[in-house]
Amino acid sequence: MNEFLQIVQLIQTTRFRALSAVNSELVNLYWQVGQSISMRLEKATWGDGMVTELAQYIQKHHPEIKGFDKKNLYRMCQFYDLYNNVAFVAPLVRQLQKIDNESETIVAPVVRQLQNNKNESDVIVAPVDQQLQDIDN
């Protein structure tokens, strides 16, 4: 029974990661659509009527594409307009996962930094495992 539970947990974990990836891509899509429309509206190359026409075009020519009616297209614009000046940083876990898959290190060991940088104003950063320990404490 324990072996079954391990397989079920593997399935559930993979499904969760797949759904997270899909959600991430949808957020990126909504951002890009909102950006495209917002920029056209801002430059006055499009008026409000063009958003309505776009929604009707999608519905008529691509009925399999759902969720892009006039109301949702404006929500995508609002999403972009609200967050377009905010700097987003990937969570530390994702940054560490990316680094685990690469041969590079985040920070050179302190000894190497001291050897290469004789200037006292240079900043020395602790290795990631030490930074994580500091965060936990």
Q: Same structural domain for residues 75 and 110?
A: no
Q: Same structural domain for residues 64 and 114?
A: no
Phi first, then psi, for residue 117 (nearest 5°) are -125, 100
Q: Rounded CA gap, 69 and 55, in Å?
A: 5
Indicate whether 52 pLDDT > 60: yes
Q: Same structural domain for residues 54 and 19?
A: yes
pTM above 0.85, yes or no: no
Residue range 37-55: mean pLDDT, rounded? 92
Q: Enumerate long-range contacts of 93-99, CB under 8 Å, 24 or more apart.
A: 96/128, 99/128
Residue 10: what residue type?
Answer: L
Q: Same structural domain for residues 99 and 79?
A: no
Indicate whether 101 pLDDT > 70: no
pLDDT confidence band for 44 (50 / 70 / 90): confident
Domain span holding position 113: 92-136
Burial of residue 107 (number of CB atoms within 10 Å: 0-12, 13-18, 19+): middle
Written as six digits, the tokens of 34 are 């909102």
